[in-house]
Amino acid sequence: MKQHLFFLATLAASLLLGFASIPYLPDQVAIHWGPSGVADGFTSKWFAILLFPIILVVLQLLLTFLPNKKGKNDTQSASYSDRTISLVQQLIMLFVLVMHILIIAENIWGSFSMGNMIILLLGCLFIIIGNYMPRLKMNSYMGIRTPWSFKNEWVWKKTQQAGGKIFFTGGVLLLILSIFISESMIWIGLPVLLLVIILSVWISYFYSNKYEDQN
């Protein structure tokens, strides 16, 4: 119930923000920025203000119906209504709303670097996800999901615990980069993102092999 209320509040905020900004937005709104931080993708302001509410609706549908379908890797104890899953879902919704706010603000005032702001936002997202990842039970939808992490619950738990530290550290690095480096943030942030992904996959492989060695 709380998840649905959060979705409705986020959707309402996105719609109100979009319609309130119509008089101030240019006819062509920037919605994509290249690696150099220069806008290279534009659309009409009507599509721009409706795009993120549509994304929120699609996300809500996915986050509502997918978890209700048990996957072959789900454990009997994996409850998709628990607090951790709900908080992660709300975090994703909030991320989309903040992105909507940033794009509108950039098109009206243009007083900040979108590259920096995106990396800053991703850093915050990684830090929060890193804190909650160790609490995730084995499931087919969230967490570090590889053939190795699904070997058993011990490997899953160790993978999520180590993965949480990897995501948290990566988030801190992204925050530092967004604050102290002002140009070509996408090129600088991408190696951090790739490193987080590679280490997350490797750590599941590591614990899978460790379990086999011990048994």
Decide if pLDDT at 164 tops 90. yes
Selection from 31-35, 61-65, 150-154 with the highest mean pLDDT: 150-154
pLDDT at 81: 41
Residue 112: CB atoms within 10 Å: 12
- Tokens representing 200 are 């997350």
First to last CA, the chain: 44
Q: What is the pLDDT of residues 78-120, one digit of tens each?
A: 454 467 777 878 888 999 999 999 999 989 987 677 777 888 8
Decide if pLDDT at 154 tops 70. yes
Mean pLDDT throughout 69-80?
53
Mean pLDDT throughout 36-41?
76
Q: What share of the chain is helix, strand, coil (3-state, %, to 5)?
A: 70, 5, 25
128 and 140 in contact (C-beta within 8 Å)? no
pLDDT band at 35 (very low <50, low <70, confident <90, very high): low
Report field, pTM of the whole predicted structure over 0.85: no
Q: What is the pLDDT of residues 176-215, one digit of tens each?
A: 888 877 655 567 778 888 999 999 999 999 999 999 888 7
pLDDT band at 69 (very low <50, low <70, confident <90, very high): low
- Tokens representing 210 are 């460790």
pLDDT band at 76 (very low <50, low <70, confident <90, very high): very low
